């Protein structure tokens, strides 16, 4: 696609995971694009899935079914003309290696720009907040370990609390001062205990609750970092072979 002097590849979003963060992705992609082209909009296709159905598959370890659903969504995006696809959530990236093998489009991982951002800050010990699955499985830790980055997660009781806030509140677009304070208390405890240098918001709904002004350590907003990578890819004159 040509928009003025800019070449633009069509972006495919596997959305609905959850709906509020999908809207956030959409608005941030539009906003980032219009900083370059104020009177134009980028081509975007969204295939919206049921976040609660996917969470059930993730929580019950049904990886093959999860991969199949995501792959089918990516095929829908391809049929709608998308040139590449992204998952608009962190937790489904637990099957990213398997998904890459069967996906009908090139995929842009959320983990890569997060790793690059932490490396650029020369940090080596960071915390991770997210859904229970994201915090308890090791897909983030494995990825970051390849760049000599240690990932620290909350204790089991704190994990349950954060997961409950995400699924019962943030996935529905609800943010309460009480829940925010509980999460900040957990962050402060982790920072003091482990001398954290940064914190990964490993759930795309967490930026609805937390921002850099809330904490003293470096905050890694995975939505913001992913969106930057999406725009860089979509605006690349020579389509990168990132799959």
d(CA 149, CA 200): 12
- For residue 2, the model assigns a pLDDT of 44
Q: Counting runs of H as helices and runs of E as strands, what totals does the chain give? A: 10, 9
DSSP code of 67?
H
- For residue 1, the model assigns a pLDDT of 44
Record the pTM. 0.91
Q: What strands lie across the sheet with 11-15, from one edge to the other?
A: 44-48, 11-15, 84-87
Take residue 35 and report the two structure tokens written for it.
Answer: 């900083």
Task: Spell out the per-residue pLDDT of the chain, length 243, in tens.
Answer: 444 456 789 999 999 998 988 999 999 999 999 998 899 899 999 999 999 899 899 989 999 999 999 999 999 999 999 999 999 999 999 999 999 999 999 999 999 999 999 999 999 999 999 999 999 999 999 999 999 999 999 999 999 999 999 999 998 889 999 999 999 999 999 999 999 999 999 998 999 999 999 999 999 999 999 999 999 999 885 555 554
Q: Are 92 and 241 in contact (CB under 8 A)?
A: no
Cα distances (angstroms) measured from residue 40 to each of 3, 18, 43: 7, 27, 10
Cα distances (angstroms) measured from residue 143 to each of 54, 109, 116, 216: 22, 11, 11, 25
- Going through the chain in order, the beta strands assigned E by DSSP cover 2-3, 6-7, 11-15, 44-48, 84-87, 125-130, 150-152, 198-202, 218-221
- For residue 6, the model assigns a pLDDT of 60
Take residue 59 and report the two structure tokens written for it.
Answer: 């929580």
The count of C-alpha atoms lying within 13 angstroms of the C-alpha of 117, restricted to the half-sphere facing its C-beta, is 23
């Amino acid at each position: 696609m040509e928009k003025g002097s800019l070449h633009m590849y069509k972006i495919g979003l596997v959305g609905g995971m959850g709906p509020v963060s999908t809207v956030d992705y959409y608005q941030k992609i539009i906003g980032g694009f219009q900083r370059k082209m104020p009177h134009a909009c980028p081509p975007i296709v969204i295939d919206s899935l049921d976040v609660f159905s996917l969470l059930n598959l993730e929580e019950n370890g049904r990886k093959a079914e999860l991969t199949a659903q995501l792959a089918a969504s990516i095929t829908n995006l391809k049929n709608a003309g998308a040139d590449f696809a992204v998952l608009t959530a962190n937790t489904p990236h637990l099957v990213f290696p398997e998904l890459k093998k069967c996906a009908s489009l090139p995929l842009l991982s959320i983990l890569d720009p997060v790793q690059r951002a932490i490396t650029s800050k020369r940090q080596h010990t960071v915390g991770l907040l997210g859904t229970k699955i994201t915090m308890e499985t090791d897909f983030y830790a494995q990825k970051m370990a390849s760049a000599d980055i240690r990932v620290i997660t909350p204790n089991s009781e704190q994990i349950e609390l954060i997961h409950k806030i995400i699924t019962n509140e943030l996935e529905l677009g609800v943010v309460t001062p009480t829940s925010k304070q509980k999460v900040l208390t957990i962050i402060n405890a982790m920072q003091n205990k482990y001398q954290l240098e940064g914190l990964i918001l490993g759930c795309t709904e967490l930026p609805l609750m937390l921002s850099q002004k809330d904490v003293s350590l470096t905050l890694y907003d995975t939505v913001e970092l992913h969106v930057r990578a999406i725009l860089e890819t979509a605006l690349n004159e020579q389509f990168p072979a990132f799959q």
